[in-house]
């Protein structure tokens, strides 16, 4: 993958995640998030499997299918500890338990963040990117990530765009990962005058 | 005892002793083949049911249709007899059930494909812990043939 494409993918991740964390920040009465420099890579399958570390760590994973002019898959992954902090701040749930209410609150948080991300990209490119109803899983990171890759039916090259974020004061961290279908990504590049990639 | 981690799409094996482990099985299937006379054990970590033309250069262990024959070849190469091989399997879960509400989940497709290809090669399935909505970790002790499966918030089971 050439540098221009890499930079372009990183810029998309920055814009998308910027909007997503702004949406989250509004839900959390203005708490500010910092974005870690986004990562964009074209990974061979074997490395994609290892891309999300800590395979046995429990995470919350929210997963959507993206349809429209640009197709792909998106996942929002956060460690269980961060999810519990979010629940405390958003719905005042201090129980530390994952009941049905907690699950649906997390599903909605994921929904809002992913929708904000895609809306930002849609506006910029004038291409439709519509998320499905999100699925939510609370399980081993490896099992969640593996199910995301299988859902995306990835082949031997996987385009991964990830941004990490964290909040000051409270320990909230997470990852938003976009797995675009390759052919559709070329559409965006052409539209933005980046030529063939 | 040596322990080897078998990642998605990989096939690994031991003769006599060793532990083959796969962590984070969601919709994937961990499959083991064991010859208890030759003490040969092979583990595969199957990603999807059928190989696809556009996936150029994929390892055989990535798909059930190419993975099961490749696992058998590996076992025979280490001195196993195909007629003595017995299989166990774990995984094939559906972590996001609302995304496959109108279709067969990938996990279930994987279970069906692995079962079909083992049957086609005359290999009996003697233990399984499949389907459901949770991830799994699978460990295969080649000296005894014992396979254990663990999941978050559940007791370990032996299959």
Its ipTM equals 0.93
What would the mean pLDDT of B9-13 be, rounded to a whole number? 97
Of B10, B54, B134, Cβ closest to residue A139: B134
In CATH, B3-158 is 3.30.1330.200: yes
Q: Which residue of A has its CA nearest to B98?
A: A135
Contact A135 B55 (CB under 8 A): no
Number of structural domains found in chain A: 1
A156 touches chain B (CB under 8 A): yes
Above 90 in pLDDT, residue A13? no
What would the mean pLDDT of B15-43 be, rounded to a whole number? 97
Contact B152 A151 (CB under 8 A): no
Instruction: Report residue A121's pLDDT band, with 50, 70 and 90 as the boundaries.
Output: confident
Instruction: Report residue A189's pLDDT band, with 50, 70 and 90 as the boundaries.
Output: low
Examine residue A197 and state whether it is found in any structural domain, yes or no.
Answer: no
A66 CA to chain B: closest CA distance, Å?
12
Examine residue A65 and state whether it is found in any structural domain, yes or no.
Answer: yes
Q: What is the domain-level CATH number for residue A57?
A: 3.40.1550.10
Examine residue A196 and state whether it is found in any structural domain, yes or no.
Answer: no
Above 90 in pLDDT, residue A125? no
Contact B9 A45 (CB under 8 A): yes
B144 CA to chain A: closest CA distance, Å?
25
Examine residue A95 and state whether it is found in any structural domain, yes or no.
Answer: yes
Number of H helices, E strands in chain B: 2, 10
Examine residue A151 and state whether it is found in any structural domain, yes or no.
Answer: yes
Supply the pLDDT for residue B36. 97
Supply the pLDDT for residue A2. 66
Q: Which residue of A has its CA nearest to B9?
A: A46
A63 CA to chain B: closest CA distance, Å?
8
Provide the sign of the torsion angle of the four alpha carbons A50, A51, A57, A63, taken in this order: negative
CB atoms within 10 A of CB A7: 12
Supply the pLDDT for residue B113. 98
Q: Which residue of B has its CA nearest to A53?
A: B24
Q: Which residues of A touch B55 (CB under 8 A)?
A: 155-156
Structural domain boundaries enclosing A148: 3-191
B72 CA to chain A: closest CA distance, Å?
22
B130 is catalytic: no
Q: Which residue of A has its CA nearest to B109?
A: A150
Cβ pairs A/B, distance under 8 A: 104
- Sequence-separated (6 or more) residues with CB below 8 Å from residue A24: A33, A109, A112, A113
């Amino acid at each position: 993958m050439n540098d221009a494409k890499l930079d372009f993918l990183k810029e998309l991740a920055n814009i998308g995640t910027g909007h997503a964390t702004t949406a989250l920040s509004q839900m959390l009465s203005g708490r500010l998030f910092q974005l870690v420099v986004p990562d964009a890579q074209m990974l061979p399958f074997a490395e994609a499997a290892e891309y999300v570390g800590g395979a046995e760590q429990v995470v919350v994973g929210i997963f959507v299918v993206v349809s429209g002019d640009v197709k792909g898959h998106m996942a929002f992954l956060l460690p269980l500890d961060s999810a519990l902090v979010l629940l405390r701040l958003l719905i005042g749930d201090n129980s530390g338990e994952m009941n049905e209410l907690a699950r649906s609150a997390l599903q909605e948080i994921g929904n809002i963040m992913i929708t904000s991300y895609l809306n930002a990209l849609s506006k910029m490119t004038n291409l439709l990117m519509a998320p499905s109803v999100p699925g939510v899983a609370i399980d081993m990171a490896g099992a969640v990530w593996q199910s995301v890759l299988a859902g995306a039916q990835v082949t031997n090259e996987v385009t991964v765009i990830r941004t990490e974020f964290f909040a000051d004061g409270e320990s909230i961290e997470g990852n938003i990962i976009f797995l675009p279908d390759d052919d559709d990504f070329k559409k965006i590049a052409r539209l933005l005058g980046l030529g063939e990639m | 005892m040596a322990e080897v981690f078998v990642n998605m799409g990989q096939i690994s094996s031991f003769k006599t002793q060793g532990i083959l482990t796969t962590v984070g099985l969601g919709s994937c299937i961990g499959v083991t083949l064991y010859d208890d006379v030759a003490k040969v054990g092979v583990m595969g970590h199957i990603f999807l049911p059928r190989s696809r033309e556009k996936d150029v250069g994929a390892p055989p262990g990535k798909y059930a249709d190419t993975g099961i024959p490749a696992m058998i070849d590996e076992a025979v190469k280490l001195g196993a007899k195909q007629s003595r091989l017995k299989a166990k399997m774990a995984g094939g879960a559906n972590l996001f059930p609302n995304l496959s509400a109108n279709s067969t989940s990938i996990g279930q497709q994987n279970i069906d494909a692995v079962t079909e290809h083992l049957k086609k090669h005359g290999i009996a399935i003697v233990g399984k812990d499949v389907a459901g909505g949770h991830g799994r970790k699978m460990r295969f002790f080649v000296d005894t043939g014992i396979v254990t499966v663990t999941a978050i918030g559940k007791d370990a089971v032996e299959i």
